[in-house]
Amino acid sequence: HGHLMVTIHGVITACTVTPATGDEREALWDLTEGVQGLVIGDKGYLSAFLQTELATTGIDLQPPLRANRIDPRPPWVVQQLTRTRRLVETVIGPLTEPFHFEKIRARDGWHLTSRIARKVLAHTLGIFINRQVGRSDLRFEGLIA
């Protein structure tokens, strides 16, 4: 499983990979090292214990609740979290399609990590070029002709 930390502008600030058989929540510690404040998580990070542990380090983890749970947060907060999560999905889309993120073949962890790092670097470089030419950050199509 791949895990990303993304800014509200769509820039990837951290990434890590975990085995498919492992607990996704363990990856959150690697991603949030040195981070404080609000972190919007995936449903895979839904855990009261994890939220409490992260709160001791200054992180306010806000994952979406499952459909069968009542959300105690105000509706405007839930809407803002949903909008921000859409941005994260917008970042993940280009990684899976033109960067072929889901089809990375590697013999071992080092090669896998190296290939992922190159794709994340290409994503960041694309955002940088878009900013230089005045385009939307996440508009990669037609960037290089």
- Its domain, for residue 98, covers 2-132
Residue 120 lies in a domain: yes
Structurally, the chain folds into a number of domains equal to 1
Per-residue confidence in pLDDT tens, the chain, 145 aa:
778 888 888 888 888 888 778 777 888 888 888 889 988 887 778 888 888 999 999 999 888 877 777 878 888 888 888 888 888 877 777 777 666 666 677 778 788 888 888 888 988 998 899 999 999 888 887 777 5
Secondary structure (H, E, C), the chain: CEEEEECCCCCEEEEEECCCCCCHHHHHHHHCCCCCEEEECCHHHCCHHHHHHHHCCCEEEECCCCCCCCCCCCHHHHHHHHHHHHHHHHHHHHHHCCCCHHHCCCCCHHHHHHHHHHHHHHHHHHHHHHHHCCCCCCCCCCCCC
Confirm whether 43 is domain-assigned.
Answer: yes
Q: What is the reported pTM?
A: 0.74
Residue 29 lies in a domain: yes
